[in-house]
Amino acid sequence: MSGMQAIWPSGTECIAKYNFHGTAEQDLPFSKGDVLTIVAVTKDPNWYKAKNKVGREGIIPANYVQKREGVKAGTKLSLMPWFHGKITREQAERLLYPPETGLFLVRESTNYPGDYTLCVSCEGKVEHYRIIYSSSKLSIDEEVYFENLMQLVEHYTTDADGLCTRLIKPKLMEGTIAAQDEFSRSGWALNMKDLKLLQTIGKGEFGDVLLGDYRGNKVAVKCIKHDATAQAFLAEASVMTQLRHSNLVQLLGVIVEEKSGLYIVTEYMAKGSLVDYLRSRGRSVLGGDCLLKFCLDVCEAMEYLEANNFVHRDLAARNVLVSEDNIAKVSDFGLTKEASSTQDTGKLPVKWTAPEALREKKFSTKSDVWSFGILLWEIYSFGRVPYPRIPLKDVVPRVEKGYKMDAPDGCPLVVYEVMKNCWTLDPIIRPSFHQLREQLEHIKGNELYL
């Protein structure tokens, strides 16, 4: 190690770059790809005391492991950094200059909308191959068909198969970084060989969620097949690399497979979504202490996001998962952004979204607080859909006039007061998550929920 190496503080996560068998009794053996947590610095800066996933502690060599970092915010990750979108034939030829055999890019076809064009530099000139899109498959020669552009490029990288040359070097779109490179650099790339996919546990509009086994541990795996969709999920995965809290569903890593798309691997939450958990168990099983604990679990996660300037934007009981030991954890970071950005409101869940976010696309921690109030209502109504008996089109006009839902049956008055404060129309007056956690702690400590 160089003298410049910064000392890693206790709690730093590392990923093993090589196998380490250990030579002394106090060493902690590990295999390439294992995640280790630094416990303490030793007298020799080349060695750390660390623990593995099962809590065993020992000494590890610093140069056998790589510190895990969050993917930098604002980094433009791409599964297809060679895809340049809508550019003309002439622009493509300029980008592939100076000529270099095997240099290539893919663009949207200008002559055939919906199709693509593969542009390849070959012996001083650029060849343009039309990629035909028919019945959900892509093909250049109508002999070999591919599910997506990544598969097509992968195929012609290994074999020219009728093209003037095989694809050798991608011309990257300016400003983009290949996702695989960035996840590897920051220590989040997992190996497909270590993952067994077992059974489907959920279906989303973007792909399936499967129960998997990663090196002997149960994990949940989001499998995203489609180019454009997978691209959108990269943002979710990169946000998750920056967040670490015991009430957030933890990202374990990402697998980028050229042939089959993107896999996001997270901890497995055995009891499923909070909304289903509440509905299936109901009043007879879940007491007031349990409900309040769920409220606090979610609030602590949200206080952490608030402190780190992240806005969730889609907080609801369906996006909270429950672990084997009944801990609620916030999940689904698909819309999570750094606090300053706005977004298209077309797909927003109206009943959970704050009025100013629907009206002016103003998302903030305070719009998350509004959603948290709705989530509290869901918890205390055992998973009912909010605003019962009010047609969807009437919800927003009524809310903007100051309408607030009644307390669910059996909901303690002190908890209902917390809900109502979350639904203050002026976002500035709404409490922060820090204040909400203190209020809920007070209710719990004084057993005011009984």
Taking Cα atoms as reference points, which of 174, 287, 299, 188 lies closest to residue 234? 188
Residue 222 annotated in ligand binding: yes
Instruction: Answer whether 213's CB lies under 8 Å from 219's CB.
Output: yes
Which residue in the block uniquely carries the two structure tokens 């203190």? 438
Q: 314, 325, 332, 426: which is the annotated catalytic residue?
A: 314
Ramachandran quadrant class, 383 (left: phi over 0; alpha: psi -120 to 50; beta: rest): left
Residue 2 sits at φ, ψ, to 5 deg, of: -80, 160
- H or E element: which one contains 239? helix 227-240
Residue 440 is encoded by which pair of tokens? 């809920």
Phi-psi category of residue 358: left, alpha or beta, with phi > 0 → left and psi -120 to 50 → alpha = alpha
> Pairing between strand 328-330 and 47-51?
unpaired
Which segments within 215-363 are labelled E, that is strand? 217-224, 251-257, 261-267, 310-311, 320-322, 328-330, 337-338
- Cross-strand partners of 329: 321
Has 227 been annotated as catalytic? no
Q: What are phi and psi of 222, to 5 degrees?
A: -90, 120
Find out whether 47 and 62 touch, Cβ atoms under 8 Å.
yes
Q: What is the DSSP string of 361-424?
A: ----HHHHHHHHHHHHHHHHTTSPPSSTTS-HHHHHHHHHTT--PPPPTT--HHHHHHHHHHT-
What whole-number distance in Å separates Cα of residue 64 and Cα of residue 256? 24
CA 88 – CA 84 distance, rounded (Å): 10
Q: Which residues of 149-185 are buried (b: 16+ CB within 10 A; e: fewer)?
A: bbbbbebbbeeeeebebbbeebbbbeebbbbbebbee
Annotated binding-site ranges:
222
Catalytic residues: 314
Annotated binding-site ranges for ATP:
222
